[in-house]
Amino acid sequence: MTLETPLLIFAVVVFASYAVQTVVGFGSMLIIVTFGAHLLEIRDLVTLAVPISILQTGYIVARHHGGIDRGLLFRRVLPLMGAGTLVGFLVFADMAGGWLRMAFGGMILVLAVRELWLMRSAEASAERGPLPRPVSFAAILGAGLIHGVFATGGPLLVYAIGREGFDKHQFRSTLAAVWLSLSLILITSFAIDGRYDAATGMRLLVLLPAVPLGVAVGEWLHHRVNERRFKVAIWILLIAAAVSLFAH
């Protein structure tokens, strides 16, 4: 097997992305797609990234299942995001390049700037209550649509449920259960679509070690890092990456 330089660099992106997601509960696919789009076609990188995501989300769900909010998961998030994911995959997945990638970059830019603005003080963040239920439903459904195309529904889902009073452990565990469930849906869809062959399997083998390494580093950081400063750094990084997509 010839190891392509873009694939090896992509493995470093995968490592960093899962370290981040293990710390805060989301962000792996967002980082993978935003930075990976400079290395691989979006369709190819999503095909590779979704199967390996099961390692991290499965680990979090198995080890920290007590923190999962099952009511939120089964009554609201999975029905809406599951439906949106299937529609996104069936209707929009073949348009993941070109204008849709530019729209994705624009969405990330707007959300990142918005989050930084709202995080400008701890008091401002604390004053925000839960979203109105119709807005929350629409955001979760939209997160599913985006997840079906880019496997990156995290920003909208975080926007929808991030103001409902979860501590960081509940938040991380519940999100991991969402990503695990949706990844299984996407992998099944990809397999039916004929995306997995021997060459793809060999590329997955190259990427696999990056996930447990990222999880190990993320677990260490999760109990030590200042969460607010960490999130600020990630949003700034994503702003830079989103801007770079416009010039790619």
Calculate mean pLDDT across residues 168-194. 87
**pLDDT per residue over 198-228, tens digit each?**
999 999 999 999 989 998 998 888 777 776 7
pLDDT reading at 39 higher than 80:
yes
Confidence of residue 15 (pLDDT cuts 50, 70, 90): very high
pLDDT of 1: 43
Q: Token pair 């089964």 is at which residue?
A: 74
Of 217 and 153, the one with more pLDDT:
217
Is pLDDT larger for residue 201 or for residue 235? 201
Question: pLDDT of 49-86, one tens digit each?
Answer: 999 989 888 988 998 888 898 988 898 999 999 898 88
| Average pLDDT of span 16-40 | 82
Euclidean distance between CA atoms 100 and 26, whole angstroms: 22
Coil, strand or helix at 41: coil
* Cβ neighbours, 10 Å, residue 141: 19
Q: Which range is most confident: 37-46, 109-118, 168-177, 187-196? A: 187-196
Distance CA 237, CA 51 (A): 25
Determine whether 46 is exposed, middle or buried from the number of CB atoms within 10 Å of its CB (0-12, 13-18, 19+): buried
CB neighbourhood size of 2 (10 A): 5
Q: Which of 85-99, 105-119, 166-180, 201-215 has the highest mean pLDDT?
A: 201-215
Task: Give mean pLDDT, residues 24-38.
Answer: 80
This prediction's pTM: 0.75
The more confident residue out of 100 and 127 is: 100
pLDDT at position 203: 92
Per-residue confidence (pLDDT) for residue 172, from 0 to 100? 79
DSSP designation for 208: T
Contact predicate 208/55, CB 8 Å: yes
Is the pLDDT reported for residue 90 higher than 90? no
The torsion defined by the Cα of 151, 186, 248 and 16, in degrees rounded to 10, comes to 60
Residue type, 156: L
Query: Mean pLDDT across the stretch 150-158?
Result: 78
**The pair of three-digit structure tokens given for residue 52, joined into one six-digit string:** 């390996």
| pLDDT at residue 209, as a whole number | 93
